[in-house]
A and B are shown apart, each in its own frame.
Chain A
Amino acid sequence: MKMPDLSYRAALVGACESNLIGYPGGEERTIRCTSLQLHLEAIKNVSEYTGIPISDIDGVFSAGWSSELAEHLGIHPSYIDTTSVGGCSFQLHVRHALAAIAAGMIDTALISHGEAGWSYRGMGGRGGGGRGEVSPAEEATAAYGIAGAPAQYAHAMVRHNHVYGTTPEDFAHISVVTRQWAMKNPRALMYSKETNPFGGEITIEDVLNARLIAWPMTLYHCCLVTDHGGAVILARPEIARTLKSKPVWVVGAGESMGHSNMVEMEDFTATSAHRSAKMAYEMAGLSPNDIEMAMIYDSFTITAGITAEMLGLAPRGRGYTLWKEGHAAPGGRLPINTNGGGLSFNHSGMYGMQLLVEAYRQMSGTAEDGVNGDPGKQTEASNCIVNGTGGTLSTTGTLILERD
């Protein structure tokens, strides 16, 4: 089916983070953020940034939180979406909100995220769901010891290595280059040795020699687990044009999924991003060659490498070359993950909101150029492809954003 052309039918008019991000209470957890607190800090910030009163919001989008958020804010939205499909939920929210705005159902959509990934790590009770029964897929795979995302994703790297002759070292370049971006972002957890003992520059050897999490992935192939909140507002053009903040246009959007449980993943070297990207490119009237920067979900190096291939930014099997050859690095032709990524900036568990916040900052020219003596983070790019991956390489959402 041909997707409707919703290009320029709504704009991101602001994107803000929560006040506290990273490891707010340190190793001792002297502060324990709640996820709700992280949501509300970000919502308050984006309302002030755009000048849109919270009372004007008529659509609420979040990964499972929308009714609680609306109640807490004392608003009565006429569009409520709680799509919760892992880290890419927020890319899907933008697409859903775009459709709702284009259809004339709402004017101003709030998309919000808060996740105390660090404060409540290991304490349980996180995440949505809770339907009180185990799915047949979970039952069938429960016997085999796999726990956590790295345990699953490592299988994809081994398969990629086998099919394409790649190596863990090839993917290590993604960690190294992403860290170079983090070193330009004072808000990044791994900005420097001062912000974190593991921060600052890392080498290929550091990545390869770090402790193994799930062979062949070492610690540095894996994202951080932090506290993070973020909120963006999507508004119809008539509103976007009147605000004190700059509009960033949504010109392409797509979503798709492959599977839920990894045992149903057909090809461990390919995700549904090739479908969600095709929708986004078609809507935008653009091709991969037209893309000037990318925000790509990097829960693990393998996630980013495969996704770059799925987005058509590199040939199959060669996604990692964008990093290895320096194209994705500061000063390269295709900057990728300019905030320092989930690998070195922040990753709360569902990272898609952080992708959106950084993409907004880059496309609105408000990234940290020159902040704290770190010029160079602001790119010249006039468009940005944003791809989120959720679950176990399962669901994907792709957006193409454009500078005003």
Chain B
Amino acid sequence: MAYDKPIPRQGQHNKPFWEGAKQGKLVLPHCTECNSVHWYPRLICPFCHSDKLDWIEVSGEGTLYTFAVQHRLAAGAWAKELPFVTAFIDLKEGDRMQTVLRGVDPNKPEDIKIGSKVKVEFEQANDDTFIPFWRVVES
């Protein structure tokens, strides 16, 4: 079945991110001056304000910072999947990403543990877009 949920637009500023995703790699902007990675992609480093950025592949590992279970509100076709778990992920390399969390039961939120180890995986949305999602691998 065709992917019918919101698909992010791509532009020059995030092209390497989506090219990496297509190959199953999490590729993030990296500052060559202060050596930090960040997400979402910026034009200058949000930590040291250098414009000397490149892109690096990161581990795709992180921990669960916090989450919620959406019961009522959802963007577009996500409405068909209510309830679902949304979450913020602290990357092993620093900074934070947002996700719909996988590997958890939205009807048992008490069983979902902040600090759980998570790993990234990608779902194909169209020919050019493989969207990263995070899955709990160890709680």
Q: Chain A interface (Cβ within 8 Å of chain B)?
A: 134, 136-137, 139-148, 150-151, 154-159, 162, 211-217, 261-264, 268
- The interface size bin for chain B is 35 or more
Number of inter-chain CB pairs below 8 Å: 117
A137 to B42, CA, bound (A): 9
A136-B14 in contact given A143-B7, A263-B97 (Cβ < 8 Å): yes
Q: Chain B interface (Cβ within 8 Å of chain A)?
A: 5-9, 11, 13-14, 39-42, 65-76, 78, 81, 83-84, 86-88, 96-100, 109, 114, 125, 131
Does the CB pair A214–B69 fall under 8 Å?
Answer: yes
A15 to B116, CA, bound (A): 50
List the 6 shortest-distance A-B pairs measured between CB atoms, nearest first.
A145-B78, A154-B68, A140-B40, A215-B69, A159-B66, A212-B71
Residue among A143, A146, A162, A261 with max Cβ neighbours from chain B (10 Å):
A143
Closest Cβ of chain B to A219, distance in Å, is 9
Does the CB pair A145–B70 fall under 8 Å?
Answer: yes
Does the CB pair A140–B73 fall under 8 Å?
Answer: no
Instruction: Give me 29 A-to-B residue pairs in the complex whose CB atoms sit less than 8 angstroms apart, sorted by A's number.
Output: A134-B9, A136-B41, A139-B14, A140-B8, A142-B6, A143-B6, A143-B131, A144-B86, A144-B99, A145-B76, A145-B78, A146-B70, A146-B73, A147-B75, A151-B68, A151-B73, A154-B68, A155-B66, A155-B87, A155-B88, A158-B67, A159-B66, A159-B114, A212-B83, A214-B69, A214-B70, A214-B71, A262-B88, A262-B98
A144-B41 in contact given A155-B66, A213-B71, A215-B71 (Cβ < 8 Å): no
Closest partner residue, chain A, to B125 (CB atom): A143
Q: Which of B5, B13, B84, B109 contacts A136 (CB 8 A)?
A: B13
Closest Cβ of chain B to A264, distance in Å, is 8
The residues of B that contact A268 with a CB separation of less than 8 Å are: 65-66, 88
A212 to B72, CA, bound (A): 7
Does the CB pair A212–B99 fall under 8 Å?
Answer: no
Closest Cβ of chain A to B109, distance in Å, is 5
A151-B5 in contact given A144-B98, A145-B100, A214-B70 (Cβ < 8 Å): no
A143 to B100, CA, bound (A): 9
A143 to B67, CA, bound (A): 16
Closest Cβ of chain A to B85, distance in Å, is 9
A139-B114 in contact given A154-B68, A263-B88 (Cβ < 8 Å): no
A262 to B74, CA, bound (A): 16
Q: Which of A141, A215, A261, A263 contacts B109 (CB 8 A)?
A: A215
Closest partner residue, chain B, to A137 (CB atom): B40
